[in-house]
Chains A and B, each alone.
Chain A
Amino acid sequence: MIPQPQVRHDQAPVTESDLLLQVRDLRTYFRLDEGMLKAVDGISFNVYRNRVLGMVGESGCGKSVTAQSILQIVPKPGVVQGEMLWHRDGQTVDIGGLDPESEEMRAIRGNEIAMIFQEPMTAFSPVHTVGNQLMEAYFVHGKLDEAEARARAVELLDLVGIPAADRRVDEYTFQLSGGMRQRAMIAMAMMNRPRMLIADEPTTALDVTIQAQILRLIRRLQAETGAAVLFISHNLGAVANLANDVAVMYRGKIVEFGTVRQVLKNPQHPYTVALLQSIPGFGYRRGDRLQSIRGSVGVPIDPPDECPFRGRCDRFDPALCGGSMPASVEVEPGHQVACVLYEARS
């Protein structure tokens, strides 16, 4: 199959009017008996209309907690600090300052910002039909016309590629295959025409074939609606296919940020480089030793002020890496790296 040329807009200029969400110094901590677990520890990024921000990193790096923080659904005893400026219609709200249970936050959650998960069964109830749940998502936000809600549900099930949508709308989720459930969940997220979609590992549990279908679906919906997407995945291949920009997270910090080309074609942080090199297939011959990353992420309980990756880093240098967490350095316009190798150079 010959790849079709595609319009990719990661080089397109970003205008301030497209700025939708500004996250500033977000910290989400869990106070545990063992100490303070700093799941997200001072991250900042912008989300723009009509752009996909990919967020990558191994399990346990704080990607899901970032998503939960934006929606104010962090479980207890999590505490969220920092600014999350949500811009719409000339107004700005600081999500970080809203009570999670407030009217205003409910109006944003599921309506202006919608989310899809790895496991669609967590989003659906087994005792209601797919259609009723899609319609419910609509009613919750004050839209009350039943016939209109049902028509919208069928329209969306059809849009996400569920065959015979007018029949499937009355089925239960257990009657759908894994791939179809994922589509139904995407349909539910799109019911209220969200301005931003958060997709947390939406393809991780799927076969490659179904994964490719879902990636194409998200790409198409994003292009058609102009919504912003925060696409969280530990699959760098999936991210390369969807994202305009990429944030690489490690132990609660963004260690590298840039356009998808900057980060994946010219990776600078030793962590990003190591992640890319550990993928089998590309540049490897059968039986070659794979480059792996020794050890594991671990749990950031009372983490010391130092580079979080130093214990696993191939380029660790006791003379350089001894100090506190390196600041982000711009290595080329828009491409930021938090590693002492670059700090020392600038």
Chain B
Amino acid sequence: MTNERPSGHEQQKPLLEITNLKKYFPIEKGLLRRVVGYVRAVDDVSLSVYRGKTMGLVGESGSGKTTLAHCVLRAYDLTEGEIIFRPGDQEYRLNELEAKELRQVRPHMQMIFQDPYSSLDPRKTVYDIVSEPLRLNGATRDAALDQRVRDLLEAVGLDYRHMKRYPHAFSGGQRQRVGIARALALNPALIVCDEPVSALDVSVQAQILNLLSDLQAQLNLTYLFIAHNLRVIQHICDDVAVMYVGKLMERARTDDLFRNPRHPYTEALLSAIPIPDPDRPLPEQGLEGELPDPANPPPGCYFHPRCRYAQAICQVEAPPWLETEPQHFSRCHFARELPLQGSI
């Protein structure tokens, strides 16, 4: 993207710079496994994440958030595009790296998963789980490793005396802490958090969000934070990107996005959050329908079939990526003029 100017924290080079990223999954049919089409899970996404900051990625299930995360971690090969990653003073073009070089980069980027129940191996003790990344990178089982595991468990608020226990002995929130300790083991620069609090009760969600904030401040961590709960995003993210059917629909500073959304999809997402106040009910009319099939998206603007503001042009012409204010972008033909409702 050429139309994004640096300002504020964008003075320095981003830690993670994604440019025109595409990830298409082939759809195969029949005995010969003929390719009959593509799921365009990520379709031309550009996004920069700055050191020490949190970039939120939000959108309905199936919009391509997890696929994007897997591309960044190079768990997937890209269909197209470039990903530059700058931990320390190195610069890596992730899209060009082969397996051997990727092994060198991997310690700098880690992931935290949604489901604290299935993401930890039930047959391994907490000690094994947390020390595994260190052992895979050459550490031996000795007093220094023990100390490191203790420090990590302490950093995430777990009692190190429980490190010989198995995951099933822990509550959901504690398991998520184990996952975070493991992700921290190799001192990563970037942590990709894929729905890390979606499976937790609000009370425990609050503990984990506070922990992630504390760790970020202490360790200067950078987060790519995926969630479908906009209130969580609002709380923890500096910037937000809204994704729909593989494309970014809007990107802005968090406060700008909530105060002044510039895309009807963002407005619809904001208005769908139920508020725990009986005097502020959900609107009688809300976003209807579901996400279209990313193998066969509608023509024009992908959002037009569900958009309450759709005009004739929206059915035929894909909207441009407009900068409506500095550092605020929207993919809507009417991004500048629609009177959209925020929510703060």
Contacts and interface: CB of A to CB of B under 8 A. Distances in A.
Specify the main secondary structure of chain A where it touches its partner. loop
A143 interface: no
A239 B282 CA distance: 11
A318 interface: no
A240 B275 contact: yes
Contacts of A265: 277-279
Given A59-B172, A275-B202, A290-B206, A3 B278 contact: no
A241 B209 contact: no
Contact of B174 (A4, A260, A278, A296): A296
Contacts of A8: 278, 281
A213 interface: yes
Interface string A167-182: 0000000000111100
Interface in B199-241: 201-207, 209-210, 213, 228-232, 234-237
B276 A236 contact: yes
B151 interface: no
A125 interface: no
Given A264-B277, A264-B278, A279-B276, A208 B269 contact: yes
Interface residues of B, number: 50
B206 A209 contact: no
Interface stretch (A24-32, A128-136, A280-288): A280-288
A321 interface: no
A234 interface: yes
Contact of A294 (B205, B207, B267, B285): B207
A293 interface: yes
Contact of B278 (A211, A261, A275): A261
A331 interface: no
Given A1-B283, A207-B228, A279-B276, 18 more contacts: A1-B285, A3-B284, A8-B278, A58-B204, A209-B269, A216-B284, A240-B276, A260-B278, A265-B279, A278-B205, A279-B206, A279-B231, A280-B231, A281-B235, A287-B236, A289-B210, A292-B206, A297-B171
Top 10 nearest A-B pairs by Cβ distance? A237-B274, A281-B231, A292-B206, A280-B235, A236-B276, A290-B206, A293-B203, A278-B206, A212-B272, A296-B171
Interface of A: 1-4, 6, 8, 10, 58-59, 177-180, 207-213, 215-216, 234-241, 260-261, 264-265, 274-276, 278-282, 284, 286-294, 296-298
Interface of B: 60-61, 171-174, 201-207, 209-210, 213, 228-232, 234-237, 254-255, 267-269, 271-288, 290, 341
